[in-house]
Structure 1
Amino acid sequence: MRNRYLDLLRFLAIIRVVVYHVTGWATLTLVFPAMSVMFALAGSLMAASLDRSGTAAVGRRLRRLLPSLWVVAAVFVPAMLLTGLALNWRVLLWLFPITDPPANGWGALALSVIWYLRDYLWFVLASPLALWLFRRAPLPTLLAPYVLLLVVELGFPGAPIVLRDFGLYFGAWLLGFAHHDGMLRRLSNRVLFPVAGVLATAGGAWIYTHPGARGYDLNDIRIGNALWAAAFILIALGRAPATAAWVDRNAVLGRAVTVLNRRALTVYLWHMPFVVALTPLVDVVGWSHQDPVGLAIRVVLVFALVGLVTMMVGWVEDVAARRPPELLPGGRRSRPASRGGPTDPAPPTGPTRPTPTDPATLTPADAAVAAASTARLR
């Protein structure tokens, strides 16, 4: 059955990502390491899909993921070609971004969140082998990305970005495997909480002693990010309730959670262009980045514009998932919420696989300088 707690986690993660990109508040990355959480939820889903469909799940996952990207590319790639982007074979990477697709100056900033899809594609392609290894040697497989991250960060800082992101985020993906297989839930409190405490302490110490360009922003501190996020995921998923029926007791909250889960990929892909476009405009009218009222106005405007574009093109996610297209998900037609799971930049999260003992960006740019920065956003 659908676990509304996992829906709620993704709902909160997407909201956190958007608010962070508007405000640039580094504290948000510490309070809720949203990207690692989304990768963990996606890993749990991928394990469930592989159990159901075998390696065919890879193609199905890509079918769910790519059409929304193609809609974005259909709008922005022609605009970039008209404003200086060179037309060559690399433009085809917008169809399948196994590495960063090309972009011109403004496009590199507005579309920099594409890094998530690039990493997601790599993780999906690696999942059949990774799950096979994980179930034969869980702990060594789980530790491998963190060892890779240490080696890359401490010894090879110029390593390819995909390799660095494997070290940073694939550990969270594998924790999603552990969640799906029920391994996290079977850990006793006497094991789970001390392990999470050690990881959080080590991560916090690294973050404190290795501040980045923006202070204690996790996106600038990869080793601290990985350790802190692993501790967060262990608690958030290791003690996840079997359900969260209370989410649907409030009709507004329940509908909002459903809509944002079904349209998470669309919201993720489209929010950054609006953040970039609005930053210079709101500065002109005096809505300062330092002013709480100005920040609130920016957040509201971004969500309003994302809501409009989501109503226009979000139905592509329904078509990709082979659901009847809906303007606004969660209505009468989609009421059987027990089927399927949340949509990700990760699609619906499947149930935990029963076992014999289990019954049941991109470094994100500061919004104040978003229009001028060319950094990758996370």
Structure 2
Amino acid sequence: MRNRYLDLLRFLAIIRVVVYHVTGYAVLTLVFPAMSVMFALAGSLMAASLDRSGVRAVGRRLRRLLPSLWVVAAVFVPAMLLTGLPFTSRVLLWLFPVADPPANHWGALALSVIWYLRDYLWFVLASPVALWLFRRAPVLTLAAPYALLAAIEFGLRPGAPLVLREFGLYFGAWMLGFAHHDGLLRRLASRVLVPVVLLVGGAGGAWILTHRGVRGYDLNDIDLGNALWSTAFILVMLGRAPAAAAWVDRNALFSRAVTAVNRRALTIYLWHMPFVIALTPLVDVVGMSRTDPVGLAIRVLLVFALVGVVTLLVGWVEDVAARRRPELVPGGRAGRAPAAAPTSPAPAGPVAPVLVGARPPAQRNAEAAVVGHLSGR
């Protein structure tokens, strides 16, 4: 059976991401570091897939990841080519984004979330070796990404490629997913877990307070603080995760919403940002303040409504990619049947053109201006 607690966390993470991109509220990144949580959940499920299928799990995971991206590319790449994007061989990165695919001026904003798929792809490719190393030296392997990020932050690795920075920032969360799957986190005694959470979370909080970014205390601008704070959060949320969350299914409507968002998480993630960008000018047209709570609430509802329409139109691609029977709205009777996909944790026992998604410092300043523009700051 699927782990409904993990489904609930992913549901909350997706909702939080959309609301943050509409409102620009930095506090949301502190209250719920959604991207790190999503990587941790993905790492846990990747470990389950590797245990079940071996290295073949890499191909299966990519098969589930890429088709939804190709649908987005089929719509937006021709539009960008018609509005100034040069046609070069780098356009092929929209098929397999091991690096940031190119975009024109508006596409770089509307499709900025592609960085998540780029990182996800690299983490999937690295997982067979990483899981092998983790199970032989868990502490050292888990510490490696944080050490890499610290070396970059303290200038010991100047000019580090973006992919190395992203491994340092998020691969630790991915491997915490490994630890969750293997049961290491739930077996961690409170006398160990609590001090570690306080130490790591305290260090992350101190770094955040002393390294305010261009958007204030927004974790997206404070990499080392982000990694440490998110680690403490994940240790709590997964280290003391319930064995089951049957209460999620007590209300049929809520249960179906959780299921639907999980089954359409990639579609929602990929399509929400274009609507965030498209709706922003309308705020001025109707005369609403960009910081007005009512105006922000209306924008959030409109974005979810538009994403819902697109999800009805193309969300079934996720079903086809996962080799499930396509459904218009997931979570019906068939949708609530036990899933054949691997679950986590394991049962008790042994265990030039603008680059979309690139976030180097110079581009982060530009992104900060965009989010500031969206949120009226």
TM-score, length-normalised on structure 1?
0.93
Which whole-Å deviations, capped at 9, do the CAs of 1:179-229 have from their partners, x for residues lacking one?
A: 000000000111111101111100000000110001100000000000000
The residue correspondences of 1:13-32 to structure 2 (distance < 5 A) are: 13-32=13-32
Provide the secondary structure at the position in 2 that maps to 1:184: coil
Corresponding residue of 2:207: 206
CA contact (8 A) 1:280 1:371 kept: no
Matched residue, 1:149:
149
User: Who is 1:369 aligned against?
Assistant: 373
Alignment of 1:169-184 (within 5 A): 169-184=170-185
SS at match of 1:183: coil
The reply to whether residue 79 of structure 1 matches residue 79 of structure 2 is yes
Q: Compute the displacement of 1:164 (Å).
A: 0.5
Number of equivalences: 363
Shift of 1:356: 3.9
Q: Check if 1:121 corresponds to 2:153.
A: no
Show structure 1 runs of 4+ deviating over 3 A: 354-358, 361-368
Query: What's the offset of the Cα at 1:157?
Result: 4.9
Distance in 1, Cα, partners of 2:375 & 2:206: 33
Letter in 2 for 1:369: H
1:355 deviation in Å? 5.7
TM-score normalised over the length of structure 2:
0.93
Write the letter of the residue equivalent to 1:120.
Answer: Y
Contact 1:179 1:352 in 2 (8 A): yes
**Structure 2 gap segments, 5+ residues each:** 352-356
List runs of 5+ in structure 1 lacking aligned partners: 342-348, 373-378
* Deviations 1:235-255 (CA, angstroms, capped at 9, x unpaired): 000000011111111111111
Letter of the structure 1 residue corresponding to residue 322 of structure 2: A
Distance 1:175 1:47, change over 3 A: same
Root-mean-square deviation (CA), in Å? 1.7
- Paired with 2:279 and 2:375, the residues of 1 have a C-alpha distance of 9
Structure 1 residues 256 and 134, CA gap change in structure 2 (3 angstroms): same
Contact 2:23 2:375 in 1 (8 A): no
1:331 alignment partner in structure 2:
332
Residue type of the alignment partner of 1:135 = R
Would you say the 8 A contact 2:24–2:374 is kept in 1? no
Tell me how far apart the structure 2 counterparts of residues 78 and 215 of structure 1 sit (CA, whole Å). 37
Contact 1:277 1:371 in 2 (8 A): no
Measured after TM superposition, the shift of residue 161 of structure 1 is 1.3
- CA spacing shift, 1:371–1:199, aligned 2, 3 Å: closer
For residues 111 and 169 of structure 1, the distance between their equivalents in structure 2, rounded to whole angstroms, comes to 20
Taking only the aligned residue pairs, the percentage that are identical comes to 76
Report matched runs for 1:224-235 at 5 Å. Answer: 224-235=225-236
Distance 1:199 1:119 in 2: 24
1:351 to 341, 344, 351: 344
1:295 to 2:288 alignment:
no
Cα distance in 1 for partners of 2:199, 2:223 equals 17
CA distance in 2, matches of 1:357, 1:66: 33
- In structure 2, C-alpha distance between the alignment counterparts of 1:297 and 1:80, rounded to whole Å: 29
Structure 2 CA distance for aligned equivalents of residues 195 and 297 of structure 1: 41
Contact preservation (8 Å) 1:279, 1:371:
no
